Chain A
Amino acid sequence: MLKMTKVSKIYRTDTVETHALREFSLEVQEGEFVSVTGPSGSGKTTFLNIAGLLEELTSGTYELDGRDISALSDRERSKVRNEKIGFIFQSFNLIPELNIFDNVDVPLRYRGFAAPDRRKRIENSLEMVGLASRMEHYPAQLSGGQQQRVAIARALAGEPRFLLADEPTGNLDTEMATNVLDLLDEINGNGTTIIMVTHELTLADRAKRNIFVRDGRVSDGPPEFRLAAAGGQG
Chain B
Amino acid sequence: MELGPIWRSLSKNKAGFLLIALQIAVTMAIMINAVAIMQERARDMGRPSGLDEPNIFALSSTAFVPGMNMRALIDEDLELIRRTPGVIDAIATNSFPLRQGGSSRGFQTEPGTGKDDVGAAVYFTDEHAIETFGLMLVEGSNFAPNEVTWTEEGSDAWAGTVIVSRAFAEALFPDEEGSYVGKTMYVDQAKPVQITGVVETLQAPWKGWDGVERAMLVPQRRDFNFQRYVVRTEPGMRDVVMPQVEEALAQSNRNRIIQSMRTMDEVRYMAYLGDSAMIKMLAFIVTLLLVITGLGIVGLASFNVSRRTRQIGIRRALGATKTQVVRYFQVENFLVSALGIGVGAVLAVALNMLMVNAFSMAPMAWYIVPIAMVVLWSVGQAAVIGPARRASRISPAIATRSG
Interface residues of chain A, those whose CB is within 8 Å of chain B, are 45, 48-49, 52, 54-55, 74-75, 78-79, 81-83, 87, 89-91, 93, 95-99, 102, 105-107, 109-111, 154, 166
Contact of B8 (CB < 8 Å), options: A48, A79, A98, A166: A98
Known contacts A98-B5, A102-B5: A111-B319 contact under CB 8 Å: yes
- Asked whether B207 is an interface residue with its Cβ less than 8 Å from the other chain, the reply is no
Contact of A97 (CB < 8 Å), options: B4, B9, B396, B400: B9
Stretch from B19-27, B102-110, B129-137, B308-316 that touches the partner: B308-316
Contact A45 B400 (CB under 8 A): yes
Residues of A near B321 (CB, < 8 A) are: 74-75, 78-79, 110
Q: Offer 18 A-B interface pairs, CB within 8 angstroms, sorted by A.
A: A45-B400, A54-B395, A78-B319, A78-B322, A78-B324, A81-B317, A81-B396, A89-B399, A89-B400, A90-B400, A97-B8, A102-B4, A102-B5, A106-B315, A106-B318, A107-B319, A110-B320, A166-B400
Residues of A near B401 (CB, < 8 A) are: 45
Known contacts A54-B399, A55-B395, A97-B13: A105-B5 contact under CB 8 Å: yes
Q: How far is the CA of A109 from the CA of B328 in the complex (A)?
A: 12
Residues of B near A93 (CB, < 8 A) are: 310, 314, 317, 399, 403
A111's nearest neighbour on chain B, judged by CB, is B319
B403's nearest neighbour on chain A, judged by CB, is A91
Q: How far is the CA of A44 from the CA of B2 in the complex (A)?
A: 34
List 4 additional contacts besides A78-B324, A106-B318, A154-B318; criterion CB under 8 Å: A109-B5, A110-B315, A110-B321, A166-B400
The smallest C-beta distance from B329 to any residue of chain A, in angstroms, reads 14
Specify the main secondary structure of chain B where it touches its partner. helix
A160's nearest neighbour on chain B, judged by CB, is B319
Interface centre among B314, B316, B319, B395 (most CB of A within 10 A): B319
Q: B1-37 interface mask toward A, CB cutoff 8 Å, 1 = contact, 0 = none?
A: 0101100110011000000000000000000000000
Contact B319 A54 (CB under 8 A): no
Contact of A98 (CB < 8 Å), options: B9, B396, B399: B9
Q: How far is the CA of A45 from the CA of B399 in the complex (A)?
A: 11
Q: How far is the CA of A81 from the CA of B223 in the complex (A)?
A: 97
Contact of B319 (CB < 8 Å), options: A49, A89, A102, A110: A110
Q: B51-75 interface mask toward A, CB cutoff 8 Å, 1 = contact, 0 = none?
A: 0000000000000000000000000
Residues of B near A74 (CB, < 8 A) are: 321-322
- Asked whether B365 is an interface residue with its Cβ less than 8 Å from the other chain, the reply is no
Contact of B311 (CB < 8 Å), options: A78, A95, A154: A95
Q: How far is the CA of A206 from the CA of B401 in the complex (A)?
A: 25
Contact B319 A79 (CB under 8 A): yes
Interface residues of chain B, those whose CB is within 8 Å of chain A, are 2, 4-5, 8-9, 12-13, 310-311, 314-324, 395-397, 399-401, 403
Contact B316 A78 (CB under 8 A): yes
Q: How far is the CA of A55 from the CA of B310 in the complex (A)?
A: 16
Residues of A near B397 (CB, < 8 A) are: 49, 54-55
Contact B2 A109 (CB under 8 A): yes
Residues of B near A49 (CB, < 8 A) are: 397, 400
Q: How far is the CA of A91 from the CA of B313 in the complex (A)?
A: 13
Residues of B near A79 (CB, < 8 A) are: 319, 321
The smallest C-beta distance from A38 to any residue of chain B, in angstroms, reads 15
Contact A54 B396 (CB under 8 A): yes
Q: How far is the CA of A134 from the CA of B396 in the complex (A)?
A: 28
Contact A81 B318 (CB under 8 A): yes
Known contacts A54-B400, A89-B400: A82-B322 contact under CB 8 Å: no
Q: How far is the CA of A102 from the CA of B315 in the complex (A)?
A: 12
Q: How far is the CA of A110 from the CA of B318 in the complex (A)?
A: 8
B398's nearest neighbour on chain A, judged by CB, is A54
Residues of B near A78 (CB, < 8 A) are: 316, 319-322, 324
**A-B pairs with lowest CB-CB distance, top 3:** A82-B319, A97-B9, A91-B403
Contact of A48 (CB < 8 Å), options: B318, B323, B400: B400
Residues of B near A82 (CB, < 8 A) are: 318-320
Q: How far is the CA of A82 from the CA of B12 in the complex (A)?
A: 26
Q: How far is the CA of A106 from the CA of B316 in the complex (A)?
A: 10
The smallest C-beta distance from B401 to any residue of chain A, in angstroms, reads 7
Q: How far is the CA of A75 from the CA of B392 in the complex (A)?
A: 12
A45's nearest neighbour on chain B, judged by CB, is B400
Q: How far is the CA of A55 from the CA of B241 in the complex (A)?
A: 82
The smallest C-beta distance from A122 to any residue of chain B, in angstroms, reads 12
Residues of A near B4 (CB, < 8 A) are: 102
Known contacts A45-B401, A98-B5: A54-B317 contact under CB 8 Å: yes
The smallest C-beta distance from B100 to any residue of chain A, in angstroms, reads 63
B401's nearest neighbour on chain A, judged by CB, is A45
Q: How far is the CA of A154 from the CA of B399 in the complex (A)?
A: 14
Q: How far is the CA of A216 from the CA of B390 in the complex (A)?
A: 31
Contact A52 B317 (CB under 8 A): yes
Residues of B near A45 (CB, < 8 A) are: 400-401
B12's nearest neighbour on chain A, judged by CB, is A97
Q: How far is the CA of A55 from the CA of B5 in the complex (A)?
A: 28
Residues of B near A166 (CB, < 8 A) are: 400
The smallest C-beta distance from A7 to any residue of chain B, in angstroms, reads 15
Contact of B318 (CB < 8 Å), options: A87, A90, A98, A99: A87
A109's nearest neighbour on chain B, judged by CB, is B2
Q: How far is the CA of A166 from the CA of B401 in the complex (A)?
A: 10
Known contacts A45-B400, A97-B13: A81-B319 contact under CB 8 Å: yes
Residues of B near A99 (CB, < 8 A) are: 8
A84's nearest neighbour on chain B, judged by CB, is B319
Residues of A near B314 (CB, < 8 A) are: 93, 95
The smallest C-beta distance from A153 to any residue of chain B, in angstroms, reads 13
Residues of A near B311 (CB, < 8 A) are: 95-97
Q: How far is the CA of A79 from the CA of B397 in the complex (A)?
A: 16
Q: How far is the CA of A102 from the CA of B396 in the complex (A)?
A: 20
Q: How far is the CA of A87 from the CA of B323 in the complex (A)?
A: 21
